Amino acid sequence: MKNRKSRNKLIKQNRILIGISLTLFVLIVFLAVYHFTVQKTKTLEEEIISSEIYPGLNLKTTKQEAELYTLFISQPITEDKKINAKINEWVMKEREIFKNDVERSKKTLKKNGFSAHLNVQTTTEKLSNKIYNLELESYQITAGANGSTKTESIIVDLNKNKILEIHDILLVDKESVNDIKKNVLKEVANKSELNDFIFEELLLESLENYKDWKFILSQDSFVFSFDQYQIASGNVGVVKIEIPMNTMIHYLNPDFANKLDLEIPDKQTELESDGKYIALTFDDGPHAQVTPRVLRILKEYEAKATFYMLGNQVEYYPSLVKQIQEEGHELGNHTKSHKDLTHLGPVQIREEIESASKNIHLASLHYPLSLRPPYGAFNETIKEISKELNLPIIMWSVDSLDWQSRNTKAINQEVMKQVHPGAIVLLHDIHPTTADALPTLLQNLKDEGYEFITVSQLLEWGDLEGIGPHYKVKID
């Protein structure tokens, strides 16, 4: 019994060995055949990498090494077929273009021993819970030519398994669309390093129809993206124009904006307790010619200022008010029509102040933060009303006398003579001579170590509440 059992065992073992050998042989033959027939053209590896940081979102990678090319694609994949199909459609189109190119350049590739390459990458921006901006970027290079880059941006709401359309994201009424276009053009104009390379006609053409816009959103920026060659010469590559989120927030579809965890950059800079800060103030504008000049110069010197504007002027030049706000300056109320408030009754005083605030808000979506009564004239009634309206009265400690001298040298001398840390400097953005004086004045002040902040920053820094008549802080 024992013997038979062990003989049987031996036979069984031999069978197993033969079986293994046969299987191995078949496998080797199969692999050899596979190697010589299939592998020369294709080894496609696909892998799905699940992500921990982006719930609902995974990454699919595709690798291929062929005789004439290599490709590496990494594309997002969700639980929704429709979304996946849309992403895949774009990726497949890129692959198709690439393969056609490779086919066309076959001879050159073989001759030069060059391997063409396609790379698709995904950048994910989480905008909110399960709302993502997926930016796909494809780079392909075939025979010797320059590579080319293309991008696609898709915003998905995985709570609803929906690809958001442009009208879900932006306000697309005529006025908003025009405003957005203007903002893009303005940003392009500000980018001096791009100006020489951009073809304005192509840019205008690309912006013409809002349905063609491509943009990438993050929690703090809104970036318009143009493919390589789309609006500029090829050496520039993909052109990205960033519009600050605090500008774009006004044009976001409110339903969409409400869902986002937007981080609007805080303009409040960290102030040193012993810093040499002053607040420049410009009264009586906005003025069609002078205000834009003043803004340009302030930007050049990276200076922030406060503009005490007249409601009547604001009504005529709302876009300037908006520009003032967007460029990080502060909005101030200088009443509606520059009347001496001390001659008016409470009802009229209130009307003068409130009407200006309303116009400023209409123009910029922001309310003024303080009040400067015309001629610096105020009494107890005005103080009470301003308190009720939550607008501290702000006077000045340095009068440039620009309204009187209308002389650039005199303006400079006057300010430099009186300036002190914590000063509030009175200027007017309605006299061309004030704009003329500004570059030298800012330079002189900078040379003395002064930094320019807004009135409300200065109040906070000095732990003050406002009023004057001759406003002086931190002189001890």
Catalytic annotation, residues: 283, 428
Nearest to 460 by CA among 286, 266, 282, 298: 266
- Smallest gap from Cβ 318 to Zn ion, in A, equals 20
- Give whichever of 373 and 466 is closer to Zn ion, judged by the CB atom: 373
Q: Quick one: which of 153, 147, 94 has its CA closest to 120?
A: 94
Query: Do 395 and 471 touch, CB atoms closer than 8 A?
Result: yes
Choose the stretch contacting Zn ion; rule: CB under 5 A; options: 71-79, 211-219, 282-290, 343-351.
Answer: 282-290
How near is the Cβ of 308 to Zn ion at its closest, in Å?
7
If we measure between CA atoms, which residue out of 349, 357, 274 comes closest to residue 314? 357
227 vs 284, which CB is nearer to Zn ion? 284
Element (H, E) at 371: strand 370-371
Question: Are the C-beta atoms of residues 291 and 317 closer than 8 Å to each other?
Answer: yes
Nearer to Zn ion, 356 or 438 (CB): 356
Return the residue nearest Zn ion (CB atom). 283
Report the residue number, 30 or 316, with the smaller CB distance to Zn ion. 316
3-state secondary structure of 146: coil
Please report whether residue 101 would count as binding Zn ion according to CB under 5 A: no
Of 56 and 368, which has the nearer Cβ to Zn ion?
368
- Using CB under 5 A as the binding rule, whether residue 399 contacts Zn ion is answered as no
> DSSP letter string over 26-69?
HHHHHHHHHIIIIITT--EEEEEEE-SSSTT-EEEEEEEE-SSE
Q: Is 284 one of the binding residues for Zn ion (CB under 5 A)?
A: yes
Provide the minimum distance between the beta carbon of 248 and Zn ion in the complex, in angstroms, as a whole number.
33
Using DSSP, state whether 469 is helix, strand or coil. coil
Q: Per-residue x/- mask for Zn ion, residues 329 to 368, rule CB under 5 A?
A: ----------------------------------------
**283 scored as a contact of Zn ion (CB under 5 A):** yes
Residues in contact with Zn ion, counted by CB under 5 A, come to a total of: 3
Core vs surface per residue 371-407: b (16+ CB within 10 A) or e: bbbbebebeeebeebbeebebbbbbbbbbbbbbebee
Contact range with Zn ion by CB under 5 A, out of 59-67, 265-273, 286-294, 371-379:
371-379
Least distance in angstroms from the C-beta of 430 to Zn ion: 9
How far apart are CB 297 and Zn ion at their closest, in Å?
20
3-state secondary structure of 328: coil
| Smallest distance from Zn ion to CB 401, Å | 13
Of 56 and 374, CB closest to Zn ion: 374
Fill in the DSSP letter of residue 343.
G
Region of 164-172, 181-189, 276-284, 378-386 interacting with Zn ion (CB under 5 A): 276-284
What tokens does 364 get?
């910029």
CA 111 to CA 108: how far, in whole Å? 5
Work out the angle at residue 252's Cα, subtended by the Cα atoms of residues 251 and 253, and round it to the nearest 5 degrees: 115
Query: Residues in the site for Zn ion, rule: CB under 5 A?
Result: 283-284, 374
